[in-house]
Amino acid sequence: MADARRTGALLLPVLLLPVLLLLALPVVPALAAEHDNSLTLVRGGDSLTLDPARATDSESTLVAGQICEGLVRLKDGGIQVEPTLAESWTVSPNGREWTFRIRRGVRFHDGSPMNAQAAALAIMRQVDPANPYRAAGMFTARSLFEHVAGAEALDDSTLRVRLKQASASFLYSLAASQATILSPLALVRWGADIGSHPVGTGPFIFAEWRRGEAITLLRNPDYWGGAPGLERLVVRTTPDAGARFLELQSRRADAVTGIPPSDLPLLEKMDGVQVLRADGLNIAYLAINTRHGHMRKVGVRRAVLLALDREALTRLVFGFAGLAAASVLPPALLSTGHPHETAHQRGDAAQARRLLAREGLAKGFEVVLQVMDIPRPYLPEPWRMAQAIRQALVGVGIRVRIVIVPWADYVAVAARGEYDLCLSGWTFDSPNPHEFLRYKLGWDSRGNFSHWENEAFQSLVNRAEASRDQGERNGLLRQALHLVAAEAPVVPLVHVRDTVALRQGLQGVVLQPMGAAIRFAKGHWE
């Protein structure tokens, strides 16, 4: 708390000056008529919040990532960290103290300076429960910043972050979308409602949000990295995949996401359309509620795993747009040496029936499968996947009732555990196994839809995170993943290749492998 008080002491004299509150109003040009130098992106669902600290869904991080930036980011199209609002950094020999030099001359969209105090606040509002700018919904802070002991500004351009222990993933955590930085003056003005009024330093300025319809962003002419080529970015919501397809075809849309795999061959042959692909770091999986009914038994959960032929499911639902999952970690993280389950990828219905009979369930039973109502980057056709799973499970005697839950309520309902099975997934915000293992399988995390508590697993993951020896870390992660494979709290389904369809002539758009993110800062029309 000493660090939190020191940070607050540096901030409050600046934040509470009434005259400076006038700066909290974004400096944006007036909305103009449509023009050729704009871009309209159409997607399947709306954002939930534009407060990056509370954004856990790809729809939210896609937009917030155009507005806000962090100390570091991942390079265009890659998974290597590069400087952003921090020009450089050093780390102490014990790995527990990081010092960042803040880029000089950068201003937030409201005209206030981006400095070390703002960077400290961005971290401490997620770490310190007593911070006045903390808000409900900062779920990923537990996995991103769980080792942070304090963050303080030594002066305007020097930030020091102290960790409770060395963290192998800390720099990657700072590259995550949830670690991007908002204007402190905007936080003072809007408080918990900052998610509807984001003010960052990024290439685009927030202008308007018509809920359920569209978000409009405008070019930041003073962007430190050079003014974007696009004057306006409009992100529209169109839930129906067929309607999105027609909007691109009729040129009412310039870019489309949430593309059903079945539409990809048509889009690739369509005149005037280009398709960008990236081997996304993601996982679609089936969470099994380990506290519910028959699913409490490991034998029943393994029967569910064996009943699902992941190779067949991937071919049926994703075609060439997916890769059957052998693990909860995507192939790009192979350096962890995670276990392969090739035989189980292809299923074994006979063995699944034997396991059920051994548990006294030879006559079968009924389960509830929860599925979302909108496409996700890892599940562009969730209903189709749910139907395919139902058909496979019926084949071993498990009757499935599918329940559709609106996406806005999905996490809350899943966290309550009102189901037996739940379709879920994760798009990695950083190229680090700890992010998924801690947030989605950690026993004290709201993101653990399996409600699985395994102290041995938790200990292995924590020890791996603290290790500075890559070989030791890989060995610990390998053991943790063997526990996941043995107890089957989840069934890994598929790793999806991210895609975005663009109109010909649109250049410079970057599809990131991390976070299903699209960068428009260098986008322009030829």
Q: How open is the CA angle 442-447-448, to the nearest 5 degrees?
A: 50
Cβ–Cβ < 8 Å for 258, 233? no
Would you say residue 83 lies in a domain?
Answer: yes
pLDDT at 251: 92
Q: How far, in Å, CA of 210 to CA of 226, rounded?
A: 28
Residues 217 and 179 in one domain: no
Would you say residue 503 lies in a domain?
Answer: yes
What does the block give as tokens for 230?
């696009």
Residue 332's identity, in one-letter code, is: A
Would you say residue 324 lies in a domain?
Answer: yes
CA-based torsion, 218, 224, 228, 234: positive or negative: negative
Tell me: the pLDDT tens digits for 213-245?
Answer: 999 999 999 999 999 999 999 999 999 989 999
Tell me: the pLDDT tens digits for 458-471?
Answer: 999 888 888 878 78
Helical segments of 198-281, H only: 241-249, 264-269
Residue 182's alpha-carbon distances to 68, 112, 169, 447, 448, in angstroms, are 7, 11, 22, 24, 28
pLDDT at 31: 38
Of 185, 216, 243, at which residue does a domain stop? 185
What does the block give as tokens for 112?
């206030």
Q: How far, in Å, CA of 120 to CA of 116, rounded?
A: 6
Q: How deeply is 93 buried, as exposed, middle or buried, from its count of CB atoms within 10 A (0-12, 13-18, 19+)?
A: exposed
| pLDDT over 70 at 8, yes or no | no
Would you say residue 474 lies in a domain?
Answer: yes
Residue ranges making up the domain that contains 154: 71-185
Helical segments of 69-224, H only: 116-127, 141-144, 170-174, 184-190
CATH number for the domain including 228? Answer: 3.40.190.10
Strands 97-102 and 148-155: unpaired
CATH number for the domain including 292? Answer: 3.10.105.10
Q: How open is the CA angle 125-127-132, to the nearest 5 degrees?
A: 30
Residues 35 and 119 in one domain: no
Q: Which of 180-189, 267-276, 384-393, 433-442 has the lowest mean pLDDT?
A: 433-442
Residues 319 and 425 in one domain: yes
Residues 98 and 167 in one domain: yes
Residues 328 and 210 in one domain: no
Cβ–Cβ < 8 Å for 28, 231? no
DSSP 331: G
- What torsion, rounded to 10 degrees, do the Cα atoms 197, 203, 209, 211 define? -110
Q: Which of 108-117, 135-144, 175-184, 486-495 has the lowest mean pLDDT?
A: 135-144
Tell me: the pLDDT tens digits for 101-153?
Answer: 999 999 999 999 999 999 999 999 999 999 999 988 887 777 788 889 999 99
pLDDT at 2: 38
Max CA pair span of the chain: 73
Residues 353 and 369 in one domain: yes
Q: Between 346 and 365, whose confidence is greater? A: 365
Residues 40 and 77 in one domain: no
Residues 125 and 264 in one domain: no
What does the block give as tokens for 125?
């509002």
What does the block give as tokens for 447?
């993101």
Would you say residue 191 lies in a domain?
Answer: no
Cβ–Cβ < 8 Å for 239, 374? yes
Cβ–Cβ < 8 Å for 380, 428? no
Q: How deeply is 402 buried, as exposed, middle or buried, from its count of CB atoms within 10 A (0-12, 13-18, 19+)?
A: middle
Considering its fold, how many domains does the chain have in total?
3
| pLDDT over 60 at 15, yes or no | no
pLDDT at 479: 92
Residues 486 and 388 in one domain: yes
CATH number for the domain including 161? Answer: 3.90.76.10
Quote the percentage of the chain above a pLDDT of 70.
90
Q: How open is the CA angle 326-331-337, to the nearest 5 degrees?
A: 80
What does the block give as tokens for 379?
């599940």
Residues 420 and 399 in one domain: yes
Q: How far, in Å, CA of 133 to CA of 129, rounded?
A: 9
36 — pLDDT class (breaks 50, 70, 90): low
Query: Minimal CA–CA distance to 411: which of 318, 287, 240?
Result: 287
Backbone phi, psi, residue 82, to 5°: -135, 160
Would you say residue 104 lies in a domain?
Answer: yes
Q: How far, in Å, CA of 477 to CA of 461, rounded?
A: 6
23 — pLDDT class (breaks 50, 70, 90): very low
Q: How far, in Å, CA of 202 to CA of 219, rounded?
A: 9
| pLDDT over 60 at 62, yes or no | yes
Would you say residue 50 lies in a domain?
Answer: no
Q: How far, in Å, CA of 411 to CA of 4, rounded?
A: 30
Average pLDDT score over the chain: 88
Backbone phi, psi, residue 370, to 5°: -90, 135
In the block, residue with structure tokens 């201003």: 107
Residues 318 and 439 in one domain: yes
| pLDDT over 90 at 313, yes or no | yes
Tell me: the pLDDT tens digits for 151-172?
Answer: 999 999 999 999 998 888 899 8
Q: How deeply is 377 buried, as exposed, middle or buried, from its count of CB atoms within 10 A (0-12, 13-18, 19+)?
A: buried
Would you say residue 252 lies in a domain?
Answer: yes
pLDDT at 263: 85
Question: Looking at residues 385-404, what average pLDDT do you find?
Answer: 97
Residues 133 and 160 in one domain: yes
